[in-house]
Structure 1
């Protein structure tokens, strides 16, 4: 059962892995990169021991493959396909180590019939690396248990360390293997578990040091990302039901039933269970149990449970080896028929014209959309000048994909820094003051442009695919990240912030309900969204219909402690108002105060500033605001002292 050389017993595993690789290789470049894959390509251009939102292995693998094939779709995915092929090789060897030739065939056949594995060789994702490395670790551990060779114990630990560098959920299969490692220590001596643990820590050690040096912020950020805005659904039970429904889809009902049947038979059997078979059961149950517990408190993506797939294949292989041949054939026919049905349903949903399947269902399927969008953005990027940034106001997928197709990986920034976009925010910090092309799905109306840029040109609408609309604009003077817009403002005074918001936007003090809304928005990091909703409210439109831009700018400045702003300041506020709207101007001025935490009741109620003493009576000051439609001159005339002139 050892992996030395290429023995006749190992040749089937090699042939299966080679066939898997050769079948998937010509298909790698057929589909454009997804947003996540493009983001991992950005990782490859910023190599490090870790990232704010992911461990580093996916970036290393993509960097290795693109160094050979260049920045192409095939180049991004090739390295992950190589690792996935090694995982298939290990899966065949795992089945043979567990139960011989029949178990070997059962393990790999079950793997290929589970829908969760069908994208295994087509996409560059940490979950693919994780599943492949876990399969290798399981095969090495079972082989070490059977042979007692220390090299396999050390190899298993090193592979689990690499799996941790792919995704933090690798701790689940590692925990499942602990009883087997302990049993191996009793059987072969305690040198075996020592080698297992030492190799794992040595492999993952540099990343753990990096993680500790960053205050565990990346790990905490992952928890915050996946728990954001999902708690309300959790207590209604939606998260749990969604998890169960998606898992029934990606595993398929028949495959899920086979796994549950295998677990039931294992529990009901009266004979003592072998430790390596128990490890397969734990490797299947622990990930599902962990995600099941987490699902009420945050979303669980369907493919996360792929970490349990190698152990489930080993468990099913042992289970099917003990079934009568007639039942075994019946299960294989059921799994095969279900796989064909899923493939036909997928073809009906995704087929037909771009953006619409044969069944008439709207789907996010538009071949060539990213290339067409890149062709429309290229002139805007050239117009923005050399070294211009590529920015997005919504998420990270759009800007990561366009960075790939436009070839500007070093100059990308996401202006709504939550989730993976936080990493883009960090990378773009040195590029302040540069021009940028801002692109986002849908509209830019809600986004507070003045917070991030000094000036933006009128936006353009782009429709690269049927039913898909993007908005792009050339902006000048990137000001840097403003994470306070999207993060909870724990140090802010809700009463001071509410007073400024309501006086600036509605011209009145806040009512009790408004005060509660502002306090809730500060706790959730939703102040920008609240301000946008106020500007769109019927009360705002009724109160300030027909108001001039100068009057709007003066009102907002006064609410933030500048009731007597000079003409230059007022003209600049009118310019910001022209491309950012009232909500953008308010948030820009709030950003200049240091965010919500910089507002105090004293700032809110600042007294009018006295006029400059050196100006003669009756003098006037003026400034010009440059707007897209022309210029506006803002003049402040000072009345001489004495009684006011009579009005006729």
Structure 2
């Protein structure tokens, strides 16, 4: 494997023209492709939820901080109902992550070949394509992690801890989006405690950076305190495994494929050189950071993609020795084989993670990409509900996706006890008839209503195996208690 190329000890950021120009072309191509397919299918259930939250902006919500709903509000205000505009921030952030991966390769000594290899592997990453297609807390979190990891590598290389002030600012903004940045902090602190340099943890700039992060996120922390830390209940629910991509077995299964199979060989190479080669010792804390994060994720029962950004950062590191390997021995054969493998993985990941196939063929990718199914059929779902809704009735949705869809596409008032939607209002006391959608067990509804009868089923207009298609629709009358008493019993995480 190639040795690390010595870098000048400098505390300045590299000028943009010091990064190979083709990196910018690759990053731009990723953004263009994502924008080209941004309007396919429809909103994701989470995006519909963010739009609901956008109408009730606050410093916090039951299951998230306020940044993503605020971005949803901004994009929907600029171009109401336009999915391409709505998802433009995600496409731009995906391109940024490609650049950051190449910057990490450059930071640890990578020349042109390593930078381009890192950029290509990032651009063809299934995890990056998936998050770049949707507006979600994960999309922003991915870019936040990558930025922090790049700046951390810079601190490890130069020893200039003043950069930690910028890390603190980025982390604070990231915490206003998703608390998962805390897991990265735990991993980096653990890695530095194990591999050094431990003096960083006592440095005044590091402490100042931590203080800055806390200061930025303070309004949201105050909201959590005032509302009894509901995020802890959400985290407990995720840890139970009752959520998409959650569970220890899923976390283990996702590791080789969350970036791509080719990238896995590269980030594993990074781990090998970081642990075994003395010249890579300054960056060894990164390898330990991933181990700490992965262990915490598995033990705590987190979602299997939580560590994807640090795997991509390790791919940037691994691109340096792999680029050296590609320049020795049977060069042509090695490069042809790598090119074939990258193209094969790129095509597969694009088909799986980007809505290239028609919606009628989405069942082919849903077993791998669950989220694809959750972007199909929301207007038809609302039409199914409104066909059986009598005058004066309201809709009671079982989850925030259904509530967001009815709010976006329907004309009937909608309420739900799910997550923060429960805080956005309850039915008026005068309402005695509701159309309940998504509740599988009528016995549950009979606890709250004197009459419950089947009124129909959801038809999303496409033969797709998602969570909503064929869900029962119930006509519920005669609430057993006033809504003020009933509503707390219908709340759920």
Interval containing the TM-score (normalised by the shorter chain):
0.7 to 0.9
| Superposition TM-score, scaled by structure 1 size | 0.61
Q: Give the structure 1 partner of residue 269 of structure 2.
A: 261
Q: Distance in 2 between matches of 1:190 and 1:360?
A: 48
Q: Give the structure 1 partner of residue 56 of structure 2.
A: 46
SS at match of 1:413: strand
Q: Residue 288 of structure 2: which of 276, 282, 287 is its match?
A: 282
Q: Give the structure 2 partner of residue 337 of structure 1.
A: 344
Q: Distance in 2 between matches of 1:441 and 1:471?
A: 6
| 8 Å Cα contact 1:95/1:105 also seen in 2 | no
Q: Distance in 1 between matches of 2:256 and 2:315?
A: 16
Q: Give the structure 2 partner of residue 224 of structure 1.
A: 237
User: For the structure 1 residues 303 and 289, does the alpha-carbon distance in structure 2 shift closer, same or farther, using more than 3 Å as the test?
Assistant: same
Q: Residue 138 of structure 2: which of 102, 115, 127 is its match?
A: 127
SS at match of 2:459: strand
Root mean square deviation, CA, Å = 4.2
> Would you say how many aligned residue pairs link Structure 1 and Structure 2?
463
Q: Give the structure 1 partner of residue 308 of structure 2.
A: 306
SS at match of 1:464: coil
The CA deviation at 1:71 is 3.7
Name the larger-Rg structure. Answer: 1
2:25 is the alignment partner of 1:28: no
The CA deviation at 1:348 is 13
- Structure having greater relative contact order (Cα 8 Å, sep ≥ 6): 2
| 8 Å Cα contact 1:103/1:321 also seen in 2 | yes
The CA deviation at 1:90 is 2.8
Once the two structures are overlaid, the 10-residue window that deviates more, 64-73 or 117-126, is 64-73
Q: Distance in 2 between matches of 1:215 and 1:30?
A: 39
User: For the structure 1 residues 454 and 250, does the alpha-carbon distance in structure 2 shift closer, same or farther, using more than 3 Å as the test?
Assistant: same
The CA deviation at 1:160 is 1.6
Q: Distance in 2 between matches of 1:8 and 1:460?
A: 62
Q: Residue 118 of structure 2: which of 107, 111, 123 is its match?
A: 107
Q: Distance in 1 between matches of 2:93 and 2:383?
A: 34
SS at match of 1:447: helix
Q: Distance in 2 between matches of 1:254 and 1:172?
A: 26
Q: Residue 400 of structure 2: which of 359, 371, 396 is its match?
A: 396
SS at match of 1:438: strand
| 8 Å Cα contact 1:111/1:117 also seen in 2 | yes
Q: Distance in 1 between matches of 2:290 and 2:160?
A: 26
2:187 is the alignment partner of 1:176: yes
Q: Give the structure 2 partner of residue 493 of structure 1.
A: none
Q: Distance in 2 between matches of 1:447 and 1:243?
A: 33
Residues 156-555 of structure 1 mapped to structure 2, 5 A cutoff:
156-178=167-189, 190-227=203-240, 239-269=247-277, 271-275=278-282, 277-295=283-301, 300-325=302-327, 326=331, 329=335, 330-341=337-348, 353=360, 357=364, 365=373, 369-378=377-386, 383-385=390-392, 389-392=394-397, 394-406=398-410, 412-415=414-417, 421-429=418-426, 431-434=428-431, 437-441=434-438, 445-449=442-446, 451=448, 453=449, 459-465=455-461, 468-473=469-474, 475=476, 479-480=483-484, 481=486, 484=489
The CA deviation at 1:362 is 13
Q: Distance in 1 between matches of 2:304 and 2:198?
A: 36
Q: Distance in 2 between matches of 1:361 and 1:140?
A: 33
| 8 Å Cα contact 1:414/1:424 also seen in 2 | yes
Q: Give the structure 2 partner of residue 136 of structure 1.
A: 147
| 8 Å Cα contact 1:62/1:75 also seen in 2 | no
User: For the structure 1 residues 37 and 347, does the alpha-carbon distance in structure 2 shift closer, same or farther, using more than 3 Å as the test?
Assistant: closer
Deviation by residue 1:75-130 (Cα, 9 ceiling, x = unmatched)? 43233333333333333322222223333223222212332222132111211111
Q: Residue 57 of structure 1: which of 44, 64, 67 is its match?
A: 67
Q: Distance in 2 between matches of 1:362 and 1:133?
A: 23
SS at match of 1:166: coil
Q: Distance in 1 between matches of 2:422 and 2:289?
A: 37
Q: Distance in 1 between matches of 2:242 and 2:160?
A: 49
Deviation by residue 1:323-361 (Cα, 9 ceiling, x = unmatched)? 352496344543433333555688999668457549999
| 8 Å Cα contact 2:436/2:475 also seen in 1 | no
Deviation by residue 1:444-475 (Cα, 9 ceiling, x = unmatched)? 63432461x57667623443335532443555
| 8 Å Cα contact 2:353/2:369 also seen in 1 | no
| 8 Å Cα contact 1:93/1:104 also seen in 2 | yes
Q: Distance in 1 between matches of 2:374 and 2:166?
A: 43
Q: Distance in 1 between matches of 2:241 and 2:125?
A: 31
Q: Give the structure 2 partner of residue 617 of structure 1.
A: none
The CA deviation at 1:159 is 0.9
The CA deviation at 1:315 is 2.7
User: For the structure 1 residues 312 and 438, does the alpha-carbon distance in structure 2 shift closer, same or farther, using more than 3 Å as the test?
Assistant: farther
Q: Distance in 2 between matches of 1:463 and 1:315?
A: 48
Q: Distance in 2 between matches of 1:359 and 1:13?
A: 32
SS at match of 1:448: helix
Q: Distance in 1 between matches of 2:208 and 2:363?
A: 55
| 8 Å Cα contact 2:427/2:483 also seen in 1 | no
SS at match of 1:391: strand
The CA deviation at 1:132 is 0.6
Residues 565-576 of structure 1 mapped to structure 2, 5 A cutoff:
none
User: For the structure 1 residues 362 and 334, does the alpha-carbon distance in structure 2 shift closer, same or farther, using more than 3 Å as the test?
Assistant: closer
